[in-house]
């Protein structure tokens, strides 16, 4: 089945801040907007930053590979070269990583690169890339 674009609405504390991060740092094209929300093209998916005036709260975290993975989080699976370029762009922008970019399962089934960081409103984001995208759901 061909994947369909997903839609995700999430809270942000300030639209100008969201626009600078999602549009500028992340490179997401802006779509429609109003005085309370902005649509962004997140690698072909529609994400909508809704201004709530406050930062987000985590439900907690889960231990994975010795890291505390923030829950909830969202992200996308990129091609490896795009993932590497994004990691460099985030570093150049001074983004603080919750979990520094690294490769999990090196040389094993499901080898994948991952990184976790937050937008200015505190939303947790995980960006991934697989050595072989065909192993996305491999056990």
Give the pLDDT confidence of 84-106 residue by residue, as tens digits.
999 999 999 999 999 999 999 99
Give dist(CA 58, CA 73) in Å, integer: 9
Integer Cα distance of 48 and 55 in angstroms: 16
Please give the mean pLDDT across all residues of the chain: 93
Share of the chain above pLDDT 90, in %: 76
Query: Residues 67-87: pLDDT tens digits?
Result: 889 899 999 999 999 999 999
25 pLDDT more than 90: yes
All domains in the chain, ordered by first residue: 7-51 (3.10.180.10), 60-135 (3.10.180.10)
What is the reported pTM? 0.91
- Neighbouring C-beta atoms of residue 6, cutoff 10 Å: 12
Q: What is the pLDDT of residues 49-67, one digit of tens each?
A: 999 987 777 778 888 888 8
């Amino acid at each position: 089945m061909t994947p369909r674009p997903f839609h995700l609405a999430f809270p942000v504390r300030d639209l100008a801040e969201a626009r600078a991060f999602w549009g500028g740092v992340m490179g997401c094209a802006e779509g429609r907007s109003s005085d309370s929300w902005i649509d962004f093209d997140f690698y072909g998916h529609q994400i909508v930053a809704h201004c709530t005036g406050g930062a987000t709260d985590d439900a907690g975290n889960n231990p994975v590979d010795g890291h505390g993975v923030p829950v909830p989080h969202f992200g996308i699976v990129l091609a490896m070269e795009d993932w590497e370029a994004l990691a460099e762009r985030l570093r150049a922008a001074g983004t603080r990583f919750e979990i520094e970019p690294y490769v999990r399962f090196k040389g094993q089934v499901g080898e994948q690169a991952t990184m976790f960081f937050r937008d200015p409103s505190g939303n947790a984001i995980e960006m991934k890339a697989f050595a072989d995208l065909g192993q996305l759901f491999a056990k």
